[in-house]
Amino acid sequence: MGLMGRIATGVSDDLITRAADVIFKERRRLILVPRDTPYSLIHINNMKTIAEAGGIICPASPSFYSKPQTIEALAATVVDRVLDLAGFQLETYRWGEMEVER
């Protein structure tokens, strides 16, 4: 969450925060995947700031809609969502569409 706070406030003190700063400057897609929960109000405000700047917040919360049968398939629901947000075309479960076997 500290990294997200630095990104939200524009502190570019390492390679990751500098890359995020440049991504915002160039109006490219920044996807952040926070894994820590629960969120404090400070975390939520940092997420809001990043979203207002054009970033995408995608919590690392697995999806159970596809009825994953293994831990790997469960983890893949998060990975698939991030890859989809990044613009990659992949065969994955989509609500209301034909199921994809994993």
* Length of the chain measured in residues: 102
* Integer angstrom CA distances of residue 36 from 1, 2, 90: 7, 11, 27
Q: What is the pTM of this model?
A: 0.81
- State pLDDT tens for residues 70-88: 999 999 999 999 999 999 9
* Integer angstrom CA distances of residue 81 from 5, 33, 56, 58, 76: 23, 10, 12, 8, 8
- State pLDDT tens for residues 36-82: 999 999 999 999 999 999 999 999 999 898 889 999 999 999 999 99
Residue ranges of alpha helices (H) inside the chain are 2-9, 15-25, 41-52, 71-85
Q: What is the pLDDT of residue 25?
A: 96
Amino acid in the structure at residue 77 = T
